[in-house]
Structure 1
Amino acid sequence: MIKRIIKKRNHFNSSLFVMLSVAMFFGCDSDETQQVTTFNNITLAQEFDTAGSLDPNIWNYDLGNGSDIGLPGWGNNELQNYTDRPENVVIEDGMLKITARQESFEGSAYTSARIQTKGKFQQKYGRFEARIQLPWGQGLWPAFWMLGDDNEGTEIWPQIGEIDIMENRGQEPTIINGSVHGPGYSAGNAVTKAFELDGDRFDTGFHVFGIEWSEDYINYYVDDVLYNQIRRSDVPGEWVFDDEFFIILNVAVGGNYVGSPNAQTVFPQEMLVDYIRVYSAD
């Protein structure tokens, strides 16, 4: 049974990102030393204080239903069409809002948004975190995740690697998962672990989702609770997390992971992002 370790931080002061190694149980019969790296240099701060559109120097929009890149349904049987309209993605009230809507749009029954930083902000190793309030309902799939650089198109998924900092089934408002995907451990065979809130829900308030990623491991956090560590030795294939990765945020509708919305799913639904911050160790 894993013993949870709580780390207290002031998220507005990167100089406090200091942690020595702490003890943690990874099994009932043995103790191991928990590796934790100090990340104290901020490299990206998206506070979403200025109303309007996203900063084009940082963000790209993924558009459509994936058919134009040969992945209809974005490869997961998703039902939405992603747009860059303010109805689906906008900064207002001091936060980023990604809104999933039930509406007919270019052949799809739903719209939403997916934004990413490919080619504009990419980083190898560090702490990546965001303060988010999730949507709720059957068939909603909000995520805060990362993909590896494809080295100018010479590599494809899952060889490029995927780090899911947070993904949620909208019908499970108390549970999120943190995962990695790579060659031999992708899709339904990803290396993953769930975190469940006690007496709270992810759709009724903001929570901080983060990873600390170093050369040989990735630590997963919710509100500074360390709930999992995935080490190089834990993956049943090649460790593909030694390259630059870029950030993605989206709310999918439907898909293999969550199933389709039902009559009880209320639209529109919003994912609210208070901030995104990234730190490096030097």
Structure 2
Amino acid sequence: MSCLLRRPLRSALPLLVPLAAALAAAGGAAPPKPAPKTTPKAAAVPLPVPAPGAHHAPPGYTLVWADEFYREGRPDPLRWTAETHRNKDGWHNAEAQYYSAGDPANAREERGVLAIEARAGAPGTAAARPADWGKQLYTSARLTSGPKGTWTYGWFEVRAKVACGRGIWPAIWMLPADPARKWPDDGEIDIMEHVGHNPGVVHHSVHTKAFNHAIKTEKTAVFPLADACAAMHRYQLHWTADRITMGVDDTVRFTFARAGTDRARWPFDKPMRLLLNVAVGGTWGGEKGIDPAAFPARMEVDYVRVYQRRK
């Protein structure tokens, strides 16, 4: 991890020392009342921001949301929500994982990175499985940007090292913020996908009603990135009102331009959330099976940064 991107030191909390009453009682006068206690107020901890020179957004864009993963332990609940709603019924694409909520074995911040880790074994114990367990034999995590993490248009950059191994399917992507969204009508943006049976190959894609993998019309770019499993890379999305551009390390690999007003072709004009996950198996990720030796399979995220055009 680049030392250029280290986090600033957090501000120390102020020490408030209450004054002691020191007046001596004179004659038969009653002793003075003690000074009222004051409750110290915690100083605000500044949000870590990139060091000077570390920004890659286009001119005219400013940072509006970020996580530099400077904490230790579970991901910041003010920035990330664990998605678990399909555990009982099973996840889409016939995926094989159970997504845990709050288990640091599957999602944690440590030494300046977010680790999302797929592990072999059912959740809980044989005597006490979670109530939403759907018979899955693997655990992992799927995080979505929290209540304030929704945007319409912007520049998005996620620096990450992907999880690898046959049957492992990590992704950095976006879905509409509306919980009533319909797929694929309301759109999907895949900033990075990597399937473990084809290591060192990265995919950028968009899905709409007119363009999606179910009808074999999705718009996608596939390109080699030999050290995707071994090194951090900056996965980037530039989303405007008329164009989606994606790339890696400032090299553009994919462009999708708006054509007309047909929402079947361009639904990308409403707020979306960012998702980070490591899936196991599935119709694509597991089409060549799941290698038991792949576990634990870990994706590391150095930072997430979101910029929007200055108003």
- What's the TM-score bracket when you normalise by the shorter of the two chains? 0.7 to 0.9
Distance 1:50 1:67, change over 3 A: closer
Are 1:275 and 2:303 an aligned pair? Answer: yes
Out of 133, 156, 161, the position equivalent to 1:133 is 161
Q: Is the 8 A contact 1:17 1:39 kept in 2?
A: no
User: C-alpha displacement at 1:221, in angstroms?
Assistant: 1.1
Q: Is the 8 A contact 2:78 2:147 kept in 1?
A: no
Match of 1:144 in 2: 172
In the alignment, the residues of structure 2 paired with residue 121 and residue 160 of structure 1 have an alpha-carbon distance, to the nearest angstrom, of 18
User: C-alpha displacement at 1:168, in angstroms?
Assistant: 0.7
Percentage of identical aligned residues: 35
Are 1:254 and 2:272 an aligned pair? Answer: no
Are 1:85 and 2:103 an aligned pair? Answer: yes
Q: Which structure has the greater CA radius of gyration?
A: 2
Distance 1:238 1:196, change over 3 A: same
TM-score normalised to structure 2 length: 0.73
User: Secondary structure of 2:222's partner?
Assistant: strand
Which of structures 1 and 2 has the larger relative contact order (alpha carbons within 8 angstroms, sep 6+)? 1
User: Secondary structure of 1:76's partner?
Assistant: helix
Number of aligned positions between the proteins: 247
Match of 1:56 in 2: 77
Give per-residue Cα distances to partners, 1:198-219, cap 9 Å, x unaligned. Answer: xx32111111101111111111
Give per-residue Cα distances to partners, 1:174-194, cap 9 Å, x unaligned. Answer: 111111111122234321111
Q: Is the 8 A contact 1:149 1:160 kept in 2?
A: no
Out of 220, 234, 240, the position equivalent to 1:208 is 234
Q: Is the 8 A contact 2:164 2:196 kept in 1?
A: yes
User: C-alpha displacement at 1:258, in angstroms?
Assistant: 1.6
Q: Is the 8 A contact 2:165 2:197 kept in 1?
A: yes
Give per-residue Cα distances to partners, 1:147-166, cap 9 Å, x unaligned. Answer: 1132x62x412222110000
User: C-alpha displacement at 1:249, in angstroms?
Assistant: 0.3
Which amino acid in 2 is paired with 1:50? Answer: R
In the alignment, the residues of structure 2 paired with residue 190 and residue 46 of structure 1 have an alpha-carbon distance, to the nearest angstrom, of 31
Distance 1:176 1:262, change over 3 A: same
In the alignment, the residues of structure 2 paired with residue 127 and residue 277 of structure 1 have an alpha-carbon distance, to the nearest angstrom, of 8
Q: Is the 8 A contact 1:98 1:272 kept in 2?
A: yes
Q: Is the 8 A contact 2:106 2:116 kept in 1?
A: yes
Match of 2:35 in 1: none
Which amino acid in 2 is paired with 1:43? Answer: V
Unaligned segments of structure 2, at least 5 residues = 6-49, 124-132
Task: Looking at secondary structure, tell me which structure has more strand per residue.
Answer: 1
Distance 1:251 1:263, change over 3 A: closer
Distance 1:268 1:17, change over 3 A: closer
User: C-alpha displacement at 1:44, in angstroms?
Assistant: 1.0
Q: How does 1:28-67 map to 2 (within 5 A)?
A: 38-63=59-84, 66-67=86-87
User: C-alpha displacement at 1:195, in angstroms?
Assistant: 2.2
Match of 1:32 in 2: none
